[in-house]
Structures are given as structure tokens and as C-alpha cells.
């Protein structure tokens, strides 16, 4: 990710499984995704990102 374009709050019930919506290699680093206006917004899992083997 080069930059963050914005931050938006969503109700937890709008979060969906990312399986099938993104590359399988990204799934361990996501809490889910939200589809909005023909876009897929990714909900990142900061703890999983910080503990990623590639960063160790």
C-alpha cells in the first residue's frame, strides 16, 4: 500500500468474508471486506500484518 485514501466507519454487520473477493495470499492479513459503490474496501488486521513472517 502506497497511501491511505481515507478512513470511514462502518457497522460491524456490513463486514463480509474476503474469501473469493481478494487474492488468497491477502486473506491472512484481513478482518474482512465491505462492498460499497462497486468497490471492495479491505478491512486490515494490523496485528496479523505486524506478525507477518516476511516482517520478522
3 state SS for 4-46: CCCCCCCCHHHCECCECCECHHHHHHEEEEEEECCEEEEEECH
Q: Is the pLDDT of residue 36 over 80?
A: yes
**Any idea what DSSP says for residue 13?**
G
Q: Is 80 exceeded by the pLDDT of residue 1?
A: no
Average pLDDT of every residue of the chain: 90
Inside any domain, residue 1: no
| pLDDT band (50, 70, 90) for residue 6 | confident
pLDDT score recorded for residue 12: 92
Q: Pairing mode, if any, of strands 30-36 and 39-44?
A: antiparallel
Domain-embedded: residue 32? yes
CA pair distance 26, 37, nearest whole angstrom:
22
Backbone angles phi, psi at 47, to 5 degrees: -65, -45
The set of cell numbers assigned to 6 is 481515507
Predicted local confidence at residue 55, as pLDDT: 80
Is residue 28 in some structural domain? yes
| Per-residue pLDDT at 18 | 92
Number of domains in the chain: 1
Amino acid at each position: 500500500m502506497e497511501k491511505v485514501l481515507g478512513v470511514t466507519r462502518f457497522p460491524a454487520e456490513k463486514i463480509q468474508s474476503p474469501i473469493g473477493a481478494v487474492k488468497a495470499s491477502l486473506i491472512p492479513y484481513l478482518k474482512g471486506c465491505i462492498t460499497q459503490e462497486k468497490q471492495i474496501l479491505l478491512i486490515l488486521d494490523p496485528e496479523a500484518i505486524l506478525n507477518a513472517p516476511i516482517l520478522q
